[in-house]
Amino acid sequence: MSARVNPRRVRRLKDSHPGPGPVVYWLSRDQRARDNWALLHAQDLALEAARPLAAVFCLVPTFLGAALRQYAFMLRGLAETAHTLAQHHIPLLLVQGRPEEEIPRLLTALRARVLVTDFDPLRIKREWKAGVLAQVELPVLEVDAHNIIPCWLASPKQEWAAYSFRPKVRRALPEFLTDFPELLPHPHRLGPPDPWPPVEDLLRSLPVDRSVAEVPKPLPGEAAAGQALTEFIARRLSRYPQDRNDPGKNGQSGLSPYLHFGQLAPQRAAWEVFRAEAPPEAREAFLEELIVRRELSDNFCYYQPRYDEVAGFPDWARKTLDEHRSDPREYLYSLEELEAARTHDELWNAAQREMVLTGRMHGYLRMYWAKKILEWSPDPETALRTATYLNDRYELDGRDPNGYVGIAWSLGGVHDRAFAERPIFGKIRYMSRQSLARKFDLRDYLLRFAS
Binding site for ligand FO1 (CB under 6 A): 28-29, 31, 58-60, 63, 66, 70-71, 74, 120, 122, 260-261, 399-400
What is the nearest approach in angstroms of ligand FAD to the Cβ of residue 42?
A: 25
What is the nearest approach in angstroms of ligand FAD to the Cβ of residue 268?
A: 12
What is the nearest approach in angstroms of ligand FO1 to the Cβ of residue 90?
A: 17
Our CB check for ligand FO1 shows the closer of 58 and 138 to be: 58
What is the nearest approach in angstroms of ligand FAD to the Cβ of residue 131?
A: 25
Q: Which residues bind ligand FAD (CB under 6 A)?
A: 244, 252-256, 259-260, 289-290, 293-294, 297, 363, 366-367, 370, 391, 395, 397-398, 400, 402-403, 406-407, 410
Q: Which listed option, ligand FAD, ligand FO1, none, makes contact with residue 370 (CB within 5 to 8 Å by class)?
A: ligand FAD
Dist. CA 389–CA 401, nearest whole Å: 14
List the one residue out of 58, 173, 37, 53 whose CA is nearest residue 105. 58
Q: Which listed option, ligand FO1, ligand FAD, none, makes contact with residue 147 (CB within 5 to 8 Å by class)?
A: none
Q: Which listed option, ligand FAD, ligand FO1, none, makes contact with residue 348 (CB within 5 to 8 Å by class)?
A: none
> Does an H or E element contain 128, and which?
helix 123-133
What is the nearest approach in angstroms of ligand FO1 to the Cβ of residue 400?
A: 5
Answer whether 409's CB lies under 8 Å from 415's CB: yes
What is the nearest approach in angstroms of ligand FAD to the Cβ of residue 391?
A: 5
Task: Find residue 426's DSSP bridge partners.
Answer: 422
224-230 contact pairs (CB < 8 A, 24+): 224/258, 224/263, 225/255, 225/258, 225/263, 225/264, 226/264, 226/268, 228/253, 228/254, 228/255, 228/258, 228/264, 229/253, 229/255, 229/264, 229/268, 229/269, 229/272, 230/272
What is the nearest approach in angstroms of ligand FAD to the Cβ of residue 205?
A: 26
Q: Which listed option, ligand FO1, ligand FAD, none, makes contact with residue 122 (CB within 5 to 8 Å by class)?
A: ligand FO1
Our CB check for ligand FO1 shows the closer of 31 and 267 to be: 31
Q: Which listed option, ligand FO1, ligand FAD, none, makes contact with residue 60 (CB within 5 to 8 Å by class)?
A: ligand FO1
Strand order in the sheet with 53-59: 10-14, 140-143, 114-118, 23-26, 53-59, 92-96
Q: Which listed option, ligand FAD, ligand FO1, none, makes contact with residue 308 (CB within 5 to 8 Å by class)?
A: none
Dist. CA 163–CA 416, nearest whole Å: 10
The CA–CA distances, whole Å, from 143 to 138, 253, 263, 426 equal 16, 27, 17, 41
List the one residue out of 294, 219, 202, 300 whose CA is nearest residue 258. 219
Q: Which listed option, ligand FO1, ligand FAD, none, makes contact with residue 259 (CB within 5 to 8 Å by class)?
A: ligand FAD
